């Protein structure tokens, strides 16, 4: 599975039109139903090479729900804006930390 | 003084890595995708905006040989997204840095100049003297036109940089003043002026990106 290619398990005759939000591999137990003792083996079955495709599927699921419907509202833009603000706040936090002390001096 | 400009610093808090430049790519998340046969409302809005821009730039480029407007419309898109997202708190303004703006303006200008001078040398030389110049004035006009041509990338970049920095700085200074002020009248005056400045910043953000792309279009049309 390379960049810009279909996943290896995708078969147009079986699955129909390609949906970038769908996982086409062998289905595994959803994380919500994994027993506590099985968490280690469940995590062992994941591979770090599948992370980019997982992120891509998450992005497309978000797109399907919020940006692609006929009547989009302002919700996805607000989500993006607040997400971006939080992200940049977090990565700049150590530069902003000293603002706590502003009330103690002028 | 260091605190006023620390919002323009691209180094983030994590080991001083310049992660803040990621805000340049943030605009890409806002772009509409078309998966279904029926596009979304946002797709329609974006497409109509781009359509207006394409038509506008097509008129500016005239009936020359090369009338591709895609580059200028995408230039407008990246600048408008960066400028608008800057208005949100904590998000880094990449277009307030000369590095970013020069890397947008300089390649454009150099490519136009090289193409024009190598391929249409006579045409470009003729452009150096505007229409209707009195005879004795011509040498000085050539000097002036050469100078104006040479500083174009500089003006293009510095205009955008200065506008973004100035607006952002004004808002920061006003907010600093509001924080340390007491007294309801001064506070409400500052509040109203800050809201007005924010509205101005919104307008400036969009206008400046438009100006940048329109001017690059004009510089391109001069070559042909």
Residue B72: φ, ψ to 5°: -75, -35
The whole-number pLDDT of residue A106 equals 63
User: What is the distance between the alpha carbons of residues B159 and B220, in angstroms, rounded to a whole number?
Assistant: 19
Judging contacts by C-beta atoms under 8 Å, the chain B residues touching residue A66 are none
Which residue among A63, A72, A91 sits closest to B12, beta carbon to beta carbon?
A: A91
Q: Which residues contact B89 (CB under 8 A, 6 or more apart)?
A: A85, A89
Helix/strand/coil for B96: helix
Task: Report pLDDT digits (tens) over B112-136.
Answer: 888 888 888 888 888 787 777 788 8
B41: contact with A, CB 8 A cutoff: yes
> In this structure, what token pair is assigned to residue B163?
């506008």
Residue A6 lies in a domain: no
- Number of residues that make up chain B: 224
Residue with tokens 């229409």: B131
Q: For chain A, say whether B197 makes contact (Cβ under 8 Å).
A: no
Nearest to B40 among A72, A81, A92 (CB): A72
The pLDDT of residue A85 is: 94
Whether B2 has a pLDDT exceeding 60, the answer reads no
- Of A80, A82, A84, which is closest to residue A92 (Cα–Cα)? A84
* Residue of chain B minimizing CA distance to A70: B40
Confidence check: pLDDT of B217 > 90: no
pLDDT at A4: 78
* Domain count across chain A: 1
In chain A, residues with a C-beta closer than 8 Å to the C-beta of B6 are: 95
How much of chain B, in percent, has pLDDT values that exceed 70? 97
| pLDDT for residue A37 | 82
Mutation test of the interface with chain A: which of B2, B12, B92, B176, choosing the one with the most A Cβ atoms within 10 A?
B12
Predicted local confidence at residue B51, as pLDDT: 92
Q: A106 is written with which tokens? A: 């002028």
Q: How far from B37 is each of A67, B29, B43, B179, CA to CA, in Å?
A: 14, 21, 12, 52
Give the pLDDT confidence score for residue B52 in this predicted structure. 92
With an 8 Å Cβ cutoff, are B41 and A85 in contact?
A: no
Q: Kindly determine whether residue B40 and residue A91, on different chains, have CB atoms separated by under 8 Å.
A: no
Nearest to B14 among A64, A89, A91 (CB): A91
Distance (Å) from the alpha carbon of B39 to chain A's nearest alpha carbon:
6
* B116-120 LR contacts (CB < 8 Å, sep 24+): B116/B222, B116/B223, B120/B223, B120/B224
Question: Is position A20 within any domain?
Answer: yes
For B190-202, what is the mean pLDDT? 83
Distances (CA, A) of B195 to A50, B8, B183: 47, 21, 18
Could you tell me which of A64, A47, A67, A42 has the C-alpha nearest to residue A1?
Answer: A47
pTM: 0.84
CA distance B26 to B14: 19
- State mean pLDDT over A22-36: 82
Across all residues in chain A, what is the average pLDDT?
86
* Residue bearing tokens 């400036």: B204
How many interface pairs between A and B have CB atoms less than 8 angstroms apart? 63
Is the CB of B26 inside 8 Å of chain A's CB atoms?
Answer: yes
B13–A94: do the CB atoms touch at under 8 Å? yes
Q: B168: closest CA among B205, B211, B212?
A: B205
In a domain, A4, yes or no: no
- Cα nearest neighbour of B17 on chain A: A91
Cα A73 to Cα A79, B85, B168: the distances in Å are: 11, 19, 29
What is the tens place of the pLDDT at every residue in A63-79? 999 999 999 889 999 99
In this prediction, residue B103 carries a pLDDT of 93
Average pLDDT over residues B9-14: 80
Q: Is the pLDDT of residue B222 over 80?
A: no
Mean pLDDT rounded to a whole number for chain B: 84
ipTM of the complex: 0.81
The verdict on a CB contact (< 8 Å) between B20 and A68 is: no
Q: Quick one: pLDDT at residue B1? A: 43
B85: how many CB neighbours lie within 10 A of its CB?
A: 25
Domain coverage including residue A42 = 12-99
Q: Is the pLDDT of residue B174 over 60?
A: yes
Q: Which two tokens stand for residue A64?
A: 């399907």
Report the chain A residue with the minimal C-alpha distance to residue B35. A68
| A103 touches B at CB < 8 Å | no
d(CA B83, CA B95): 7
pLDDT in tens, B46-77: 999 999 988 888 888 777 666 778 888 888 89
């Amino acid at each position: 599975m390379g960049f810009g290619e279909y996943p290896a398990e995708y078969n147009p005759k079986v699955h129909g039109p390609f949906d970038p939000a769908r996982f086409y591999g062998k289905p595994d137990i959803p994380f919500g139903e994994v027993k506590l003792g099985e968490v280690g083996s469940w995590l062992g079955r994941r591979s770090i090479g599948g992370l980019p495709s997982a992120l891509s599927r998450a992005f497309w699921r978000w797109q399907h729900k919020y940006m692609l419907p006929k009547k989009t509202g302002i919700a996805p833009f607000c989500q993006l804006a607040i997400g971006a603000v939080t992200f940049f706040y977090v990565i700049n936090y150590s530069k902003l930390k000293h603002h706590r002390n502003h009330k103690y001096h002028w | 003084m260091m605190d006023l400009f620390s919002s323009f610093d691209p180094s983030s808090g994590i080991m001083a890595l310049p992660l803040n430049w990621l805000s340049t790519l943030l605009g890409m998340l806002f772009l509409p995708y078309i998966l279904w046969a029926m596009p979304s409302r946002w797709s329609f809005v974006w497409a109509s905006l781009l359509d207006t821009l394409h038509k506008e730039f097509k008129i500016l480029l005239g009936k020359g040989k090369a009338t591709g407007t895609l580059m200028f419309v995408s230039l407008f898109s990246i600048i408008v997204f960066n400028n608008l997202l800057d208005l949100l708190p904590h998000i880094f303004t990449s277009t307030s840095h000369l590095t970013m703006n020069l890397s947008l303006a300089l390649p454009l200008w150099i490519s136009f100049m090289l193409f024009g001078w190598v391929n249409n040398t006579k045409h470009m030389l003729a452009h150096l003297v505007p229409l209707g110049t009195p005879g004795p004035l011509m040498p000085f006009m050539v000097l002036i036109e050469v100078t104006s041509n040479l500083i174009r990338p500089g003006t293009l970049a510095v205009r955008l940089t200065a506008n973004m920095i100035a607006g952002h700085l004004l808002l920061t200074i006003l907010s600093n003043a509001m924080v340390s002020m007491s007294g309801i009248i001064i506070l409400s005056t500052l509040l109203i002026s800050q809201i007005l400045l924010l509205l101005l910043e919104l307008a400036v953000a969009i206008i400046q990106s438009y100006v940048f792309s329109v001017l690059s279009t004009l510089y391109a049309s001069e070559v042909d």
